[in-house]
């Protein structure tokens, strides 16, 4: 099969012919129909410490096939598999059980924080390929995609959209009538904006890419662009956003940038919420938290790691009813041959939304 391999950090992926995966007992083989290019993949490609540490902890090593935002058609099942069958179109949630839902967190319905967590493209080969194998310990988390939902949209629910859904719906991060500030309007940020707007909330957003801000405005958010300088963002928040809209009820951060977080924290109301879904880059791995402000305002800071498969209820219903159009999240559909061009655009922060691989 054709695949893109990460052989060296911060170097072009290598497009190669590699052997098709062999399916063993309890395993499932997917023909990849669509694979989103998530910024987490880019973080691993860069060699950012948290992603490299996870890869090593989960048994992954270079060379590895990246990609974790996947929708695929089941083409083969191993002995004992009963929850899916050949022909089913499924999502493999990007953060899945690795122990067949036997740990305490899986039993509580939170397989996204499984003690033996599986994220394709990190611990095992991922979906930048024609086929991807799902390990036996993770098959229980496969989610069937209903007819009428495009594979590209289904793939995005596995990470970007799913993470936003977990933050804003499952964990109740935003309520009708409230105001949400979204930092970063890539695939996850645009997903968060649409989910919040569909729930009756007001959305404000900031991004360093003017094209991303324009896309945010098209979906109904009050979106602003800035140069990337922390002092400029702080001025934008204090002199434009807060004066126009008041302090916000919640922040949904997709950047993982401590300068961004420090600039927006003062805009959160007392007993407001800060929802963290972004990952930090090398050289900026710590956030000097203004804990006095957190204490004085009784703020809640909540980490969000993707979406457990047990909490998928409602996502496909929302899509089927047309309340959210994930076409807005897609920047471009590309072939596997274009993956290095996509990484270049991500490095330059020039992609307003997701690249999705649909041709292999």
Question: Which pLDDT score, from 0 to 100, does residue 287 have?
Answer: 93
Taking the CB of residue 207, how many other CB atoms lie within 10 A of it?
A: 27
Question: Which pLDDT score, from 0 to 100, does residue 38 have?
Answer: 96
Question: Which pLDDT score, from 0 to 100, does residue 100 have?
Answer: 97
Question: Which pLDDT score, from 0 to 100, does residue 24 have?
Answer: 98
Judged against a pLDDT cut of 90, whether residue 243 lies above it is answered with: yes
Convert the pLDDT of each residue in 257-304 to its tens digit: 999 999 999 999 999 999 999 988 888 889 999 999 999 999 999 999
Judged against a pLDDT cut of 90, whether residue 350 lies above it is answered with: no
Question: Which pLDDT score, from 0 to 100, does residue 284 have?
Answer: 87
Give the 3-state secondary structure of residue 157: helix
Q: What is the mean pLDDT of residues 94-115?
A: 97
For residues 208-219, one letter each, b for 16 or more C-beta atoms within 10 angstroms of the residue's C-beta and e for the rest, the string is: bbeebbebbeeb
Question: Which pLDDT score, from 0 to 100, does residue 240 have?
Answer: 96
CATH no., domain 2-159+325-359: 3.90.180.10
Cα 245 from Cα 266, distance rounded (Å):
14
Judged against a pLDDT cut of 90, whether residue 313 lies above it is answered with: no
Question: Which pLDDT score, from 0 to 100, does residue 14 have?
Answer: 98
Question: Which pLDDT score, from 0 to 100, does residue 323 have?
Answer: 87
Question: Which pLDDT score, from 0 to 100, does residue 236 have?
Answer: 97
CA distances from 280 to 47, 153, 189, 191 (A): 11, 26, 16, 20
The ranges assigned to domains in the chain are 2-159+325-359, 161-303
CA distances from 209 to 49, 71, 226 (A): 25, 28, 8
- Reply yes or no on domain 161-303 having CATH 3.40.50.20: no
Q: What is the mean pLDDT of residues 332-348?
A: 97
With a pLDDT cut of 70, the percent of the chain lying above it is 100
Convert the pLDDT of each residue in 135-156 to its tens digit: 999 999 999 999 999 999 999 9
Q: What is the mean pLDDT of residues 216-226?
A: 97
Cα 275 from Cα 253, distance rounded (Å):
6
Question: Which pLDDT score, from 0 to 100, does residue 268 have?
Answer: 98
Asked if residue 90 lies in contact with residue 155, where contact means CB atoms within 8 angstroms, the answer is no
With a pLDDT cut of 90, the percent of the chain lying above it is 93
Q: pLDDT averaged over the chain?
A: 96
Q: What is the mean pLDDT of residues 118-127?
A: 97
Question: Which pLDDT score, from 0 to 100, does residue 248 have?
Answer: 98
Q: Say which residue, 285 or 250, is predicted with more confidence.
A: 250
- Can you state the angle between helices 49-57 and 39-46, rounded to 10 degrees? 90
pLDDT band of 256, cuts 50, 70, 90 = very high
Question: Which pLDDT score, from 0 to 100, does residue 285 have?
Answer: 86
Q: What is the mean pLDDT of residues 51-58?
A: 93
Q: What is the mean pLDDT of residues 235-249?
A: 96
Judged against a pLDDT cut of 90, whether residue 118 lies above it is answered with: yes
Judged against a pLDDT cut of 90, whether residue 176 lies above it is answered with: yes
Question: Which pLDDT score, from 0 to 100, does residue 322 have?
Answer: 85
Asked if residue 67 lies in contact with residue 131, where contact means CB atoms within 8 angstroms, the answer is no
Question: Which pLDDT score, from 0 to 100, does residue 333 have?
Answer: 98
């Amino acid at each position: 099969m054709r695949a893109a391999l990460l052989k060296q950090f911060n170097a072009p992926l290598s497009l190669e012919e590699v052997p098709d995966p062999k399916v063993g007992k309890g395993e499932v083989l997917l023909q990849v129909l669509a694979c989103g290019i998530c910024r987490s993949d880019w973080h691993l490609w860069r060699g950012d410490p948290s992603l490299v540490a996870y890869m090593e902890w989960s048994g992954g090593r270079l060379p590895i096939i990246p990609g974790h935002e996947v929708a695929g058609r089941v083409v083969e099942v191993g002995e004992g598999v009963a929850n899916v069958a050949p022909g089913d179109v499924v999502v493999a949630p990007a953060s899945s059980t690795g122990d067949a839902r036997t740990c305490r967190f899986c039993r509580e319905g939170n397989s996204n924080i499984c003690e033996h967590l599986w994220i394709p493209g990190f611990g095992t080969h991922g979906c930048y390929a024609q086929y991807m194998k799902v390990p036996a310990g993770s098959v229980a988390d496969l989610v069937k995609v209903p007819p009428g939902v495009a594979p590209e949209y289904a793939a995005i629910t596995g990470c970007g959209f799913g993470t936003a859904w977990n933050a804003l719906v499952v964990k109740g991060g935003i309520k009708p009538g409230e105001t949400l500030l979204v930092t970063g309007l890539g695939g996850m940020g645009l997903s968060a904006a649409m989910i919040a707007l569909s729930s009756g909330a007001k959305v404000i957003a900031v991004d360093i890419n003017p094209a991303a801000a324009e896309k945010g405005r098209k979906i109904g958010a009050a979106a602003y662009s800035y140069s990337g300088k922390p002092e400029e963002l702080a001025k934008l928040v204090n002199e434009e956003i807060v004066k126009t809209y008041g302090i916000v009820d919640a922040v949904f951060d997709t950047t993982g940038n401590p300068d961004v977080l420090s600039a927006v924290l003062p805009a959160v109301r007392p007993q407001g919420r800060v929802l963290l879904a972004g990952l930090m880059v090398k050289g900026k791995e710590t956030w000097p938290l203004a804990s006095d402000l957190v204490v004085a305002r009784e703020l809640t800071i909540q980490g969000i790691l993707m979406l457990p498969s047990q909490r998928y209820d409602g996502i496909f219903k929302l899509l089927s009813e047309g309340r959210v159009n994930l076409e807005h999240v897609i920047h471009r559909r590309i072939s596997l041959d274009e993956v290095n061009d996509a990484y270049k655009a991500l490095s330059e922060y020039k992609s307003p939304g997701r690249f999705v691989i649909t041709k292999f």
